Amino acid sequence: MRRSGAHDGKQRRSTTSRARGVAEILTVLEKLALRALPGRQVPAESGVRFAISSQARKDGFCLVFLVDDRESPIFPDSEGPRPDYLVVHASRRGCVLTLIEMKGRNVSGTEHGIDQLLAFYRRLKQEMARCLPGSWRRATIQGLLLMPENAQFNRKKIDDAKREGLAIYPLAYHHQAELYDYVSRPISFTEPYKHRRLPRDTPELNPLERLWTAGRVEQRIRDTRFTARRAADDDTVYLNFRRPGDPTSAYVTLATTAKDAVLAFSPQASAVREEVCAHLETHGLQCPALRIDDGTSP
């Protein structure tokens, strides 16, 4: 799907260059991780657009991921359609994954949007089962079909998707929607869109979100942990991060499999470890499936 606007073109080129810079095989979840946007506002498409209030930074973790990158797709078109975006919101209340597709008023377009959301829901469930521990796979997954006011949609297809496990919510609004209320918790099918003017302050992201978006190390650091944790090409998430300006030896590793997840810090990353651990504790993001260590053991 073609996107418009100078901001959008710059955003897409930046995302694509990051993805192409990784000259190694990545799982679908790893490719998604490389597509986290540097903010929580997206460009217009089909006459609609959305943003998520900066107050999300106080909840713990909330990022928007570009799913449908036509120049560097996360999987071939032959393997199924994809929605526009994925929003991951994690707080002490739990984790909500919201798939978002933006469409115009035409009923055939909104029907295809439902197909895109449902197909990617199926693929996402498969990838999570391969690469994430059990408790992480219990995150709530929901879909938002964003469209202009007076748009038409097929309620039967939405009901069929719900029976399969994906609740899809058609939200009609005028031009730009504020989605904080709709991505920070599971929502009800009966809720119409209600616009609220929410704060958009700077910095928009909290330190953990900035580490994820600005600190991604595109070429994996092949230390002893990589040798011990990186498994097959389709059953692992293995990512490295480094705060901008920190020395190359001060890095963070997130390694997950279907059995567990480890957040490791190199010995030189003591400052970022203190910051990240304090953030996880403050916002209730610690869990039994996540082990934190100093990066010296697998």
Mean pLDDT value across residues 257-276: 95
Scanning the structure block, which residue is given the tokens 């560097």?
A: 72
Average pLDDT over residues 158-183: 91
- Tell me the per-residue pLDDT of 279-293, one tens digit each, with 9 for 90 and over: 999 999 999 999 998
The answer on pLDDT for 19 being more than 50 is no
Is a pLDDT exceeding 50 seen at residue 1? no
Percent of the chain whose pLDDT exceeds 70:
89
Round to whole Å and give the CA distance between 118 and 143: 8
Q: Beginning with the edge strand found earlier in the chain, give each strand of the sheet holding 290-293 in spatial order.
A: 216-217, 237-241, 252-256, 261-265, 290-293
Q: What is the DSSP letter of 35?
A: T
Nearest to 239 by CA among 228, 258, 226: 226
- Average confidence (pLDDT) over 262-284: 96
Which residue bears the tokens 């199924």? 80
Ranking 48-62, 106-120, 186-200, 276-290 by mean pLDDT, the lowest is: 186-200
Under a CB-based contact definition with an 8 Å cutoff, are residues 244 and 252 in contact?
no
| Over residues 185-202, mean pLDDT | 81
Res. 144: pLDDT tops 60: yes
Strands 167-173 and 61-66 come out as: unpaired
Residue 23, pLDDT score: 53
Could you tell me how far CA 114 lies from the centroid of its own chain? 19
The pLDDT of residue 174: 74
What percentage of the chain carries pLDDT values higher than 90? 63
In the predicted model, is pLDDT for residue 105 greater than 70?
yes
Q: Which residue has the tokens 């490791």?
A: 264
Averaged pLDDT, 206-212: 97
For 241-265, what is the mean pLDDT? 95
Burial class (CB in 10 A: 0-12, 13-18, 19+), 155: exposed
Mean pLDDT computed over 12-24: 46
Q: Which single residue is written with the structure tokens 């089909």?
A: 46
pLDDT band at 5 (very low <50, low <70, confident <90, very high): very low
Nearest to 36 by CA among 210, 243, 213: 213
Please state the pTM of the whole predicted model. 0.88
Mean pLDDT in the chain? Answer: 87
CB atoms within 10 A of CB 88: 19
Closest CA to 75 of 21, 155, 19, 130: 19
Which pLDDT does position 166 carry in this prediction?
A: 96
